[in-house]
Structure 1
Amino acid sequence: MHIWVDADACPAVIKDILFKAARRTGLPLSLVANHSMSVPPDKHITLTLVPSGFDAADDYIVEQCNEGDLVITSDIPLASDVLAKKAQAINTRGEPFDKSSIRATLTMRDFMDTMRASGEHTGGPKAFSQRDKQQFANALDRILTAGMQRKP
């Protein structure tokens, strides 16, 4: 399993959890972003800088990820694309994306985009909380534990 992170909008606290998990498990962790950021010196952790541009990081992750990999993203279209490649995807609050509900999630996202474009104030995402951090850590641990048990 390779862990891919849509890193531009990933909260620092989530990156810290991921850094610790990569060190603990020895799994490769790749952050993909269009701007430089600090990553700890570790042979399992890499930062890939992609050109600025619409969906450049997303396109790179989709191209590089494989079946069984884990992608951390809050980008619903990216999650849909990696699910089609039989990778797993969770958002930064630890909520999994799955094949059975991704179409409905995409439809709701598109509807909300249309509402915002028409001038409707839909609010933004709720503030990231300690509970969200814990929920992410727990979800990541479950996925990594299941993945390690499947190893030959």
Structure 2
Amino acid sequence: MYSFFIWIDADSCPLPVRNWVIDIAKAKALNVNFVANREIPHPKNDAHFKMFVCEKTEGAADDFIFSNVGGNDIVVTRDIPFAARLVEKGIFVMNDRGKVFTKDNIAERLSERNFNLNLAMIGLSGNSARHYGPKELKKFADCFERKTSQLIVNDTFMQKKSAEKK
């Protein structure tokens, strides 16, 4: 069992992403925590998958993840203000399109989000209703694979080093 967890902000996570993460997690024995304000379909009777249902209040799922996420974990979320909180905490955060949120880009992402919200408030559509298809899933999958592979190698190395000390 690896020392890191995958946290999925599942309320807005597209079904193709959830299904892909489930398939990869089963193949690699990754620990996945789904967090939402309602039950989301997920593998049951499998110790690698957990579903946390939070209150139906604004930000409850985000707050739960924020309180429980660890330093080597991965968080998948579309919520840019939440991503900013996680980045500040030093957590690896990516969205369902394979974009990684970092200290170098989070301010720009927040600015774009706020601009699009302002456009929507005055009746102009921003670019919020974009299509999610195979191209977007591939970008996510590539980014997710790179990061999980890196964490698996690090975990394996640390376990081997720990075993040698004994």
Q: Quick check: TM above 0.5?
A: yes
Q: 1:4 aligns with which of 7, 19, 35?
A: 7
Q: Which residue of 1 aligns with 2:32?
A: 29
The alignment partner of 1:54 has SS state of: coil
Q: CA deviation at 1:21?
A: 2.2
**Identity among equivalent pairs (%):** 27
Partner secondary structure for residue 47 of structure 1:
strand
When normalised by structure 1's length, the TM-score is: 0.94
SS in 1 for 2:11: helix
1:123–1:145 Cα change, 3 Å:
closer
Alpha-carbon separation, structure 2, partners of 1:83 and 1:21 = 25
| 1:103 is aligned to 2:103 | no
Aligned to 2:18: 15
- Of residues 137, 143, 149, the one that matches 1:145 is 149
CA contact (8 A) 1:66 1:86 kept: no
State how 1:117-136 maps to structure 2 within 5 Å: 117-136=121-140
Amino acid at match of 2:59: D
Superimposed CA distance per residue, residues 4-28 of structure 1 (whole angstroms, 9 cap, x where no aligned partner): 0000111111111111222222221
For the 8 Å contact 2:116–2:127, the answer to whether it is kept is: no
Gap regions ≥5 residues in structure 2: 159-166
Aligned-pair distance for 1:66?
1.5
Name the CA distance, whole Å, in 1 between partners of 2:13 and 2:148. 19
Among 94, 111, 114, the residue aligned to 2:98: 94
1:15 is paired with a residue whose SS is helix
Contact 2:117 2:126 in 1 (8 A): no
Tell me the number of residue pairs that the alignment of Structure 1 and Structure 2 aligns: 152
Give 1:105 deviation, angstroms: 0.9
With normalisation by structure 2, the TM-score equals: 0.86
Q: Does 1:113 align with 2:117?
A: yes
C-alpha contact 2:116 2:128 (8 A) present in aligned 1: no
Structure 1 residue 123: deviation in Å? 4.1
**Matches of 1:20 and 1:58, distance apart in 2:** 24
Large movers: runs of 4+ above 6 Å: none
Secondary structure of 2:8 counterpart: strand
In structure 2, the partner of 1:60 is 64
Pair member with larger Rg: 2
CA RMSD of aligned residues (A): 1.2
